[in-house]
Amino acid sequence: MKTQTDSAGEHTTSAGENALTVLLLGNGSRECALAEKFHESPLLKKLYTAPGNAGTAAYGQNTALDISNPEAVGVFCASHSVDLLVSGPELPLVLGVADAVKAISPHTHVFGPGRAGARLEGSKVFAKDFMTRHAIPTAPFTVVSKGENPECAIPEATELPIVLKADGLAAGKGTLIASTAADARLMLHEMLNGAFGKSSERVVIEKFMNGPECSVFVMTDGTDYRIFPVAADYKRAHDRNTGPNTGGMGAVCPVDFADQAFMQKVRDKIIEPTLRGLREEGIEYRGIIYLGLINVDGEPYVLEYNVRMGDPETAPVLALTKSDILDAFLKTAQGRCREILPEYDSGKAVGVVVASEGYPDHAVTGRKISIDLLPDGVKLLAGGMIRNGAGELVTSSGRVCTVVGKGSTLAQARRKAYEGVCAIHFNGAWFRTDIAE
Ligand code: GLY
For residue 141, list its beta bridge partners. Answer: 206
The finding on whether 121 has its CB within 6 A of some atom of ligand 1 is no
Q: What is the pLDDT of residue 4?
A: 39
| Residue-wise pLDDT tens digits, 61-84 | 999 999 999 999 999 999 999 999
For residue 166, list its beta bridge partners. Answer: 203
Q: What is the pLDDT of residue 172?
A: 80
The finding on whether 304 has its CB within 6 A of some atom of ligand 1 is no
DSSP string, 187-254: HHHHHHTTEEEETTSEEEEEE---S-EEEEEEEESSSSEEEPPPBEE--EEEGGGEEEE-S-SEEEES
Q: How far apart are CA 94 and CA 25, in angstroms?
A: 13
When comparing pLDDT for 296 and 15, which is higher? 296
Q: What is the pLDDT of residue 173?
A: 83
Across the chain, what does the average pLDDT equal?
Answer: 94
> Which atom of ligand 1 is the closest one to the Cα of 309?
4
What is the C-alpha end-to-end distance of the chain, expressed in Å?
Answer: 40
Residue 5 banded pLDDT, cuts 50, 70, 90: very low
- DSSP code for 17: G
The answer to whether the CB of 200 falls within 8 A of the CB of 169 is no
Centre of ligand 1 from the C-alpha of residue 149, in Å: 32
Count CA atoms closer than 13 A to 17's CA, side-chain side: 0
| Residue-wise pLDDT tens digits, 24-65 | 999 999 999 999 999 999 999 999 999 999 999 999 999 999
Q: How far apart are CA 31 and CA 21, in angstroms?
A: 16
* 30, 94, 215, best to mutate for ligand 1 pocket (most atoms within 8 Å of CB): 215
